[in-house]
């Protein structure tokens, strides 16, 4: 590898054609310019110039080295252009989050992309551990998780508080419901539903609730967008984060039944440290923070 400083001095000398003026240009002494030239020639193993009084001509090796110097200058200019071109509305950003939050967030992101035609946003629904791993590896620029995390390579910001909702058909909205009546209606189960039931029901029906394995399951579905559908048709109840309810197109056919003890999950947005110094990632991070206020 050619020494970059010596190479730049030689390239500047070829541009200027004069040792003293080159020294002035680079803020060096004339002997300093000569020293860089001699060191570069020693590194190449061939003389680079032939002196003729105060002027000089390039040797064949000198012409080859000058071509490298010019090419390196161009590469550095292109690199600076890339580094300095940090537009919040241009480029690609990838996000990982839960399925319910992805359903709620995605329409907001489409609005963002309409305002920024050169911005590409990729959203992946994934479990907590996968999101953290993908943010650490760089596969996701941003992640939304349901619990705080402490990691030396991650930054975390509190995003919002999201209520865990008991979702019933609209016709049940004004009824007084207990656990027995809910069991009569039947549980629309899903992969996270059992843990949600333990969290919500153990606090609201402490005498009667025996665990999620004792619930009467009417149906099971693992497609997040389909979970509220049987509830909307009066075929059961379910438990979802508020984002999953708000994202359902037929939500007017649903009701959120208010229990005495309400449960909330704190959502956090995470990124690899210093990743949000990139404008497009910082802008989208702020956009999600603002949009998520609607979930409170």
pLDDT in tens, 229-256: 999 999 999 999 999 999 999 999 999 9
Task: Please tell me whether residues 217 and 284 are part of one structural domain.
Answer: no
One domain, residues 181 and 240: yes
pLDDT tens for 138-173 read: 889 999 998 888 899 999 999 998 999 999 999 998
| Encoded tokens for 25 | 């240009």
Report the number of distinct structural domains present in the chain: 3
- Residue 99 has a pLDDT of 85
Same domain, 97 and 38: no
Distance from C-alpha of 52 to C-alpha of 33, rounded to nearest angstrom: 17
Q: Are 95 and 155 within one domain?
A: yes
Say yes or no: 255 and 279 in one domain. Answer: no
pLDDT digits (tens, 9 = 90+) for 193-218: 999 999 999 999 999 999 999 999 99
DSSP assignment letter at 138: T
For residue 16, how many other CB atoms are within 10 A of its CB?
Answer: 16
Token output for 290: 């603002």
Q: Are residues 158 and 101 in the same domain?
A: yes
Q: Does 167 lie in the same domain as 113?
A: no
Mean pLDDT, rounded, for 31-41 = 95
Give the 3-state secondary structure of residue 180.
helix
**Are 265 and 292 within 8 A, CB to CB?**
no
Q: What is the pLDDT of residues 41-92, one digit of tens each?
A: 999 999 999 988 778 999 999 999 999 999 998 888 777 767 767 889 998 9
- Based on the domain organization, do 184 and 135 belong to the same domain? no
Exposure on the CB side of residue 56, measured as CA atoms within 13 A: 19
- Domain holding 148, by residue range, is 91-162+265-295
Q: What percent of the chain has pLDDT over 70?
A: 99
Q: How remote is the C-alpha of 198 from its chain's centroid?
A: 31
Distance CA(262)–CA(164), nearest Å, equals 8
- CATH number of the domain at 168, please: 3.40.190.10
């Amino acid at each position: 590898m050619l020494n970059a400083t010596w190479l730049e001095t030689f390239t500047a000398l070829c541009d200027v054609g004069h040792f003293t003026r080159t020294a002035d240009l680079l803020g060096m002494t004339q002997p300093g310019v000569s020293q860089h030239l001699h060191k570069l020639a020693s590194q190449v193993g061939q003389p680079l110039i032939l002196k003729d009084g105060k002027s000089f001509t390039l040797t064949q090796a000198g012409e080859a080295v000058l071509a490298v110097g010019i090419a390196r200058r161009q590469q550095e200019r292109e690199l600076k252009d890339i580094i300095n071109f940090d537009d919040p509305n241009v480029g690609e950003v990838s996000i990982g989050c839960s399925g319910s939050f992805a359903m709620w967030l995605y329409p907001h992101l489409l609005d963002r992309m309409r305002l920024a035609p050169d911005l590409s946003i990729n959203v992946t629904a994934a479990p907590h551990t996968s999101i953290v791993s993908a943010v650490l590896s760089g596969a996701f620029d941003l992640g939304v998780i349901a619990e705080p995390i402490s990691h030396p390579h991650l930054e975390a910001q509190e995003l919002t508080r999201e209520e865990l909702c008991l979702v019933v058909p609209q016709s049940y909205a004004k009824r007084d419901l207990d656990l027995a009546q809910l069991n009569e209606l039947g549980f629309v189960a899903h992969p996270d539903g059992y843990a949600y039931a333990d969290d919500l029901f153990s606090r609201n029906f402490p005498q009667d609730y025996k665990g999620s394995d004792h619930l009467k399951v009417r149906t099971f579905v693992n497609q997040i967008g389909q979970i509220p559908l049987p509830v909307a048709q009066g075929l059961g109840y379910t438990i979802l984060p508020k984002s999953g309810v708000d994202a359902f197109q037929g939500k007017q056919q649903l009701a959120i039944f208010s229990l005495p003890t309400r449960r909330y999950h704190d959502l956090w947005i995470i990124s690899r440290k210093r990743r949000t110094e990139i404008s497009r990632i910082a802008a989208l991070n702020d956009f999600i923070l603002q949009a998520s206020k609607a979930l409170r």
